[in-house]
Each structure stands twice: as structure tokens, then as C-alpha cells.
Amino acid sequence: MSDDVKLSPVEAIKLQSRYLRGTIAEDLLEEKPNFSKENAQLLKHHGSYQQDDRDERAEIRAAGGGKSEKAYIFMVRTRVPGGKLTCDQFLAELDLADELGNTTLRITSRQGLQLHGVLKRNLRQVIRRINEVQLTTLAACGDVERNVMCCPAPHYHDPVHAELQALADRLAAHLAPRTRAYHDIWLKDLHSGEQLVFGPNG
């Protein structure tokens, strides 16, 4: 019997991705509204799903577009370890929903936040602005732990609660992917390499 392990297609993509980089940065520079199949898989680890806007697709078809034409949009998920958000962070997410999404912000069952209807051309701006308020989308999607949950209620003077929140933060940091790809793609200028935003993980 062979010792070779047969990788799933997704695992093969990750293995060849240069630590989750793929060619996402190159795809971002192209005007097409979507990412390649491989990059769409890797994008999940950066906190986004490539989707097809079914309502828009119906309009395209009604206007004479082909059946295979898709109206690409992106869902962007923010990972919120322990469910802790400041007012400024929440308001920043609401602003993004209004300005660059479809005006909806959803709270997930894992204490994350989801923006919907983001266009590819706005993806970098959305992720940068999320990081500007010290939140992140890194590892909010895909086959990762996605988020570490904890009760975010402000139980002041409760050492056990404070310890649990600190543990949630440490676990989230420990389980996050060990790669600079996220910072290089989303938080730096793609041409100069200059760091534009410093997110919660540096």
C-alpha cells in the first residue's frame, strides 16, 4: 500500500498557493469582476466568498445576456474573537455596508459580521477599512476555526470573565494562519509594497 496521501482539490490548491497568496494580487489588478477558480478558494482564508447575485443574474438574462453569465459579488466576513466590538467598530462596519455593500450587515451565529454585495473593485478598500478599526477578515471563512466565541457582556470586576476573554483572544491568534500573504495583498500598496494599514495583527 502506498504511503502517498491523496489530497483533495482544495488542499492541492492550498499546497501550491505560496502560503495562501496564489495570484490574488494579480487578479485584483485585472478588470474582470471575478477571481480565478483557484483564487476564489484561497479568498475564503482572507475572509471572503465569491458569489453570484441571483437577482442581478436574472436581470442580465432578461436583458438578453447568456445563461452562463454571472453577476459576481463578494461576501466579506469579519472575525470578532470573543464577540467584542466597540461602538466605533460597529459603526464602521455599518458605514461599509451602506457605502460599498448592499446596505445589510449580518451578525453570524459565530459572533462574526458579514457584509454582502461587495464588488471585486471595492474588496481591497473594504478589507483595509475593516483593519483600520482593528478588526480582521483573516481566517473568517474556509476550512479554519473561523472564530473563537465567548460571552462579550461587559462583566466589570469579574476576573473569570476577563480571563475567558483573554483566552479567546489568545486562541484566535494561535489558530490564525501563519502567513504574511493577507497583509501583503490587502494592507500594502500592490505597486510600491508600502504598508498602508496596520491591522490588529500588525
What is the residue range of 175's domain?
Answer: 44-186
pLDDT single digits (tens) 63-106: 766 666 789 999 999 999 999 999 999 999 999 999 999 999 99
Starting at the edge strand found earlier in the chain, the sheet holding 113-118 runs 48-52, 72-78, 113-118, 105-107
Residue with the three cell numbers 500588525: 202
Flag residues of the chain having pLDDT under 70: 1-3, 60-61, 64-68, 201-202
Taking only the tens place, the pLDDT of each residue in 25-35 is 999 999 999 99
pLDDT score of 190? 73
**Domain tally for the chain?**
1
Residue 126 resides in a domain: yes
Cell, residue 135: 478588526
Residue 9 lies in a domain: no
In a domain, 182, yes or no: yes
Domain-embedded: residue 94: yes
Residues contacting 33, CB < 8 A, separation 6+: 71, 72, 119, 120, 121
Three cell numbers written together for 11: 488542499
102 alpha carbon, distance to own chain's centre: 16
What CATH code is carried by the domain that includes residue 149? 3.30.70.2500
Residue 84 in any domain: the answer is yes
d(CA 21, CA 29) in angstroms, rounded, equals: 14
